[in-house]
Structure 1
């Protein structure tokens, strides 16, 4: 039953994301007087349709899987009046760009709802070790951090993301912050200390203690722990939520002794034993806020933009980690994996009531919508970004790319994307087994 509900919710979320994406193409195409042959909600056979005076057929289709916007002559060598290719290069670029852009708009609107209800995790300092270089450099409790090692850090999660992507290694730390409206900047060399690490990140909120990432060649990886596993027990202590896990680790920091961990992997109990790896790590010397706090209406709007920026940065930095080998391709989730995450989010949040459940799912939709926008703008053939890239070549050379060659380029890109989807599908299934 839970799986069925998760699939239904996932279909609704995916459907809305794709529909908004296609609506972006549609509305800008109409504004540029491009003939839209059909705009449909859903996919598959039509169950209802109506042809408007403009000639556009509006259809409702059987499968609730997004929608489509079919424009006259979009993929053909057709320059008749009203066709896609009869328009200027800038009009075509605007129409193509509008799809991903509307996904960013949707992410912003959804962020307004979540931040208005739950607030935001402002990145102010909650604790500074008075013996640390950070304190000596002038950092104090209450300082509002705006940049951390060159990265935007308006949110506490932005600092967490930067540290995860670029772990502290003893090099100088640079921080920009405001105090009583005055902007200040400091740079200091962090102290180092020996610390036992296991190599993972996990959900540290009041939901299941789900392992989000496992560091390559870490004790966790060597023990066979996988992203998506849920920690239920550590050395005999029951772990119900991510908050429980964070508290336990804070009170019982890992040492050189072996650790017994019990995991839930899709309903199957797995027990692992691992020995933390003692290593020299840099200590930033301060603690920053990660708790959400309510803000004024004006700040809800301001921080909603910040939320979208954070989600976009998360996608881009994750892609960087994939390209540089910091994470493996096996850690990427495809459609099945995303459906599983949505189902787990619903299952974890529903015990806290309808409001928490809805806000949790909306928060997930923000991430997915921003993700869809960014991925579609990558300069890969068959994606919107691939089309924009070819248009840029046309602008630079002053010559349009022949339609047969453009079609072949997009066909090759489509085949490669389908191959990637098959890989992700099997990868997701492998994780479920």
Structure 2
């Protein structure tokens, strides 16, 4: 249960921040955002605020912001249709009733001759006396179909009406917010836990570590280990790791006095599968607001660099499925991080956020990066790509991504359960 809750919390936060970036900049550009969704599939919970319906859906595998103009309107009104019109105080149409007109006795029933809800915002129709009447439509009018209201989307509120720059910023904002979230999480961890300092000094000690048993204390300054002078944490840990199960002498300075303490590092397996020594000490830390912010930047950059190195291995053909984790793998790693404490979970969340931001920026159809490529082509050509062709490319890209998710998930199952 702890793993499940941690996964929902972490993944939900990452998706929320990503989609909120799209939503915020879309609204700043004047784009009508019909829905802000976390998850896919059937709705679990929803509410409406400021023209947008906020929903939580059953499958927690992502999210989306549905902007006006990105897909064809689902409700089409053609000449000859009988509709009901409800006017506001300015005698502009505020509601267009498609069916169930008997439930709206205040509506004026007319037969449509011409309707334009994108540019002119007018309805030309015949009333019950067969007189031709023209109605102006309010730009926030709603179409009522099966008693479900849908706000109209005039051209100036649609995604495609905005400049290439505003559209590109709206798309880029999702990954940008993931990078910002990673920076904030890393910085908060540094503020609360302290920033690692590359000094040859003992930080906190584990309860069952051999360093504590031997008599080392937090704050001891290490001058040398087994005759090798050390000046940094990196140098110190290198000597320890190189001497598994072998007694080594720590020459330390404590309260101005020099002491020698013998320690025998325990043996553990390194990431490369080789034995290495550990004594149960953590890197020393210091507390600083400016330093924490700097740490947030450097850690975000470091994680991004590692991800690009892995992507480079894919490009050069040195790719291995061990480099990729799908939903099951991420679920398992999130549970392991949660078991190690809140700070480890926050660091893991930050790393995932950087990963989500970078993956979304790759020039892959159906991803934010793929959409940015099409906007770049539009800027170069001076006109947009045919929406049907672009839609087909994104559809194929989405299908291939879905196939990749299946393959990666199967790999996760083999790795974890077989």
Same fold (TM over 0.5): yes
Most deviating of 328-337 and 405-414: 328-337
Which range moves more in the overlay, 27-36 or 61-70? 61-70
SS of the residue corresponding to residue 342 of structure 1 reads: helix
Query: Which whole-Å CA distance do the structure 2 matches of 1:65 and 1:421 have between them?
Result: 11
Q: CA deviation at 1:42?
A: 4.4
Match of residue 387, structure 2, among 376, 400, 403: 403
Question: Which of 144, 152, 161 is residue 86 of structure 1 equivalent to?
Answer: 161
2:16 maps to 19
1:56 to 52, 55, 73: 52
Number of residues paired by the alignment? 284
Q: 1:68 aligns with which of 64, 71, 84?
A: 64
How far off is 1:116 after superposition? 1.1
Rg larger for: 2
Q: Give the deviation of 1:295 after TM superposition.
A: 3.4
Give the Å deviation of 1:412: 1.1
Q: 1:211 to 1:23 in 2, by over 3 A?
A: farther
Could you say what secondary structure the match of 1:246 adopts? strand
Instruction: For residue 81 of structure 1, give the secondary structure of its aligned residue in structure 2.
Output: helix
Q: 1:414 to 1:62 in 2, by over 3 A?
A: closer
Q: CA RMSD in A?
A: 3.4
- Structure 1 Cα separation of the partners of residues 377 and 284 of structure 2: 45
Change (3 A) 1:427 1:41: closer
- The answer on whether the counterparts of 1:17 and 1:66 sit within 8 Å (CA) in structure 2 is no
Matched, 1:32 2:29: yes
- Give the direction of change, closer, same or farther, for the CA distance of 1:76–1:124 in structure 2 (3 Å limit): farther
| Aligned mates of 1:364, 1:73 — CA distance in 2 | 37
Q: TM-score, normalised by structure 2?
A: 0.60
- 1:39 Cα deviation after fit: 1.7
Tell me, yes or no, if the aligned pair for 2:196 and 2:286 is still in contact at 8 Å.
Answer: no
2:357 corresponds, among 373, 397, 419, to 373
Structure 1 unaligned regions, length at least 5: 130-134, 143-154, 161-205, 215-219, 221-230, 235-244, 249-289, 350-356
Q: Is the 8 A contact 1:380 1:386 kept in 2?
A: yes
1:311/1:328 CA distance change after superposition, 3 Å? same
Structure 1 residues 402 and 327, CA gap change in structure 2 (3 angstroms): closer
Which digits, 9 at most, give the CA deviation of each residue in 1:137-185, with x for residues without a partner?
xxx946xxxxxxxxxxxx97xxx9xxxxxxxxxxxxxxxxxxxxxxxxx
1:305 aligns with 2:273: no
Query: CA deviation digits over 1:102-149, x for unaligned, max 9?
Result: 1111111111211112333355789999xxxxx9xxxx946xxxxxxx
Q: CA deviation at 1:342?
A: 1.5
Which string of whole-angstrom CA distances, capped at 9 and with x for unpartnered residues, describes residues 253-306 of structure 1? xxxxxxxxxxxxxxxxxxxxxxxxxxxxxxxxxxxxx93522311111122111
Match of 2:181 in 1: 106
Counterpart of 2:278 in structure 1 is 247
Per-residue deviation, 1:345 = 2.4
Task: Indicate how the Cα distance of structure 1 residues 382 and 124 shifts in structure 2: closer, same or farther if over 3 A, else same.
Answer: farther
Tell me how far 1:66 sits from its aligned partner.
Answer: 5.2
Counterparts in 2 of 1:347-426, with a 5 A limit?
347=339, 349=340, 357-426=341-410
| Deviation for aligned residue 1:31 | 0.3
In the TM superposition, what is the alpha-carbon distance from 1:65 to its structure 2 partner? 5.2
Q: Decide whether aligned partners of structure 1 residues 310 and 76 sit closer, same or farther in structure 2, where only a CA change above 3 A counts.
A: farther
TM-score by length of 1: 0.59
Deviations 1:53-92 (A, max 9, x none): x422233445555543111112459982201111111111
State the SS of the aligned residue for 2:157. coil
Q: Is the 8 A contact 1:46 1:60 kept in 2?
A: yes
